Every structure is written in C-alpha cells, then in structure tokens.
Amino acid sequence: MAQVIQVAILGMALGGVIALMGAGLSLVFGVMRIVNLAHPSLIIAGAYVAYWGFKLWGVDPLVMLPVAALIMAAVGVLLYRLMFEKEARSARYSEMTVLVTFALAMMVEGLLGSLFTNTQRVTSPAYATEAFFIGDIFIPKGQLYAGLVSLVIIGGLALFLKYSRMGYAIRATTQNRDAAELLGVNVNFISVLAFAIGIGLAGAAGSLVSFVFSFFPAKQWEWIAMLMSVVVLGGMGSILGTVIAAFTLSVIAAFVGTWIGATWSTMTFFLALFVILLIRPQGLFGEKPELV
C-alpha cells in the first residue's frame, strides 16, 4: 500500500508541472486556433533562462520564474506579429500554423543548439535533491515545489480569465471570434495578449522544468507528444481539461513506469493520444465538431 501511495504522489507532483506546460499550448489554441508545435522548444528556452540565471548569478529558478515568463512573453509578441498576425483570418489558419510552428520549432532548436550545444543540463538548487519524509513515504521537494507553483499559476490564470475584463474578452474570442468583434472586442489585441500569455506560461514552465527534468534543445521532440496527448485528452482549448488530463496521465505513467518499466512510462502518453483520437477526438471537455 505504501508503494502505491508513493507512486501516486510522485505522479501527481509531476502532473502539476506537465499541466502548466500544456496550459499555454491549450490557451493559444483556444483563442487563435494555433496548433503550436514549437511550444516545447519555447519551454526549453525558458529553462535556459532559469539555468543561466542560476549558473551565472546564483539566482534561484523559482525567483527567475517571472523573469523567464516576461522574456518569453515578449518573444511571444514578436513571434505573433511576424508569423501569425497577417493570416489570422485565413480559412485554413489552423492547418497553416502546424507547418509554421513545426518550422519554428526546428529553428529554435537549432538556435539553442548553436548557443548551448546539446549537452544535457539541469539547474541544481539545494531543494532539488532533498525530500520530505512521512514514515516510509518521501516527497521530493523539487517536484513538490514545482507542482504547487504550477497550480498557483494555473489558478491565477483561471481567476484572470473568469473575473477580469481582459479575461472576458479572451473567453469571448475563444467562443466566437466574429461575434466578439461585433460586440466591440479588439480581437487582434486580444490575440496578441493571449499568445503572449501562452508563451509566457511556457517560460514559467521552463523555469520549473529546469530543476525537475534534465533538458537540452532536442528534448522538445519527446515533450511534444506528451503535451499534445494531454491537450487532446483534455479537449483542445480547455485549460481545465488540460489540468485533469495532465494529472491523470502523469499518475498512470508513474504506475506504468514502476510496474512495467521506465521505457513504457513515456509510451503511456503516446498510447493515450492514439486512443483518444480514435474514440473521442474532441477530448474530455472539448466540443464535438459539427459536420458540414
């Protein structure tokens, strides 16, 4: 029984981080229908911001988190203006963004690889290797702190979307872009804002990833399937669904890795993506597409 509780705790701790990693991806798709395959590479860019802040100046990655988020949000504004704004009204916008963001992912990976090489790195604050012990059960401090901070950020995002005027505008744009524009919402500004928030969340997730996982530029190709499975299972555009899916799949993957083998742990996400696309392609909280 103790082992079951232990594995569940470890899975839930990582689930919070994965939820934050997927939240920005889900928000961007919900508002602008951008399938951002470059999201994991931007998370890694945020991880490098935290890593070098710790390496050069000894700044804790939790302290570097808002810095990484702001830097990546600024990058998000620049990317949206350069790559997505002009074609936002195209009928095949979502399909086009798959190719554009795939190319962006390769460019970001190449840039990071040129600057930092493909050496595996990890930020190493003291708590990253410490744990709380409750009898025979241990809770890694690094994973616990990362999971709790992720939930606080996601909770703050949820409150912002539900109660602020900008949040109303973002939700209105998510539900019906044309209707929101008719009601006076500056859809172009809201799109830039939402994209900046989404990429800012990638930067925040990167700061937490920097001491929870080892990372290097090419790591993005492992993470994209994991994040897509979480977002698709939860329902494309549903942040609540993304959070629930992240915790569910993380706990299942933890048990699979413990009982079957570590190699199969990652396969849990691939298999979930395959099954959900076959059975319920709109995900748990997504809307069923209408037939034309």
Q: How many CB atoms lie within 10 A of CB 65?
A: 24
Residue range 70-78: mean pLDDT, rounded: 97
Structural domain span for residue 66: 2-230
Residue 246 lies in a domain: no
Q: For the segment 253-286, what is each residue's pLDDT rounded down to a tens digit?
A: 999 988 888 778 888 888 888 888 888 888 888 7
Distances (CA, A) of 223 to 55, 77, 227, 275, 282: 24, 23, 6, 18, 21
CA dist 35 and 45 (Å) reads 19
Residue 84 lies in a domain: yes
What is the CA 60 to chain-centroid distance, rounded?
A: 21
Q: Would you list the DSSP string of 104-139?
A: HHHHHHHHHHHHHTT--B----GGGG-EEEETTEEE
Residue 282 lies in a domain: no
Q: For the segment 103-154, what is each residue's pLDDT rounded down to a tens digit?
A: 999 999 999 999 999 899 999 999 999 999 988 889 999 999 999 999 999 9
Residue 56 lies in a domain: yes
Residue 24 lies in a domain: yes
Using an 8 Å Cβ cutoff, are 72 and 46 in contact? yes
CA dist 13 and 246 (Å) reads 11
Residue 105's nearest CA partner among 83, 89, 87 is 83
Using an 8 Å Cβ cutoff, are 22 and 231 in contact? yes
Residue 278 lies in a domain: no
Residue 245 lies in a domain: no
Using an 8 Å Cβ cutoff, are 45 and 206 in contact? yes
pLDDT band at 181 (very low <50, low <70, confident <90, very high): confident
- Model pLDDT, residue 288: 60
Q: Is the pTM of this model over 0.75?
A: yes
> What are the φ and ψ backbone dihedral angles of 277, each rounded to 5 degrees?
-70, -30
Q: What is the C-alpha R_g of the chain?
A: 19
Task: Provide the mean pLDDT of the chain.
Answer: 90
Q: Is 215 helix (H, G, I), strand (E, B) or coil?
A: strand
- Structure token pair of residue 181: 């524009």
* pLDDT cut 90: percent of the chain above it: 64
pLDDT band at 287 (very low <50, low <70, confident <90, very high): low
CA dist 225 and 267 (Å) reads 10
How many domains are there within the chain? Answer: 1
Residue 276 lies in a domain: no
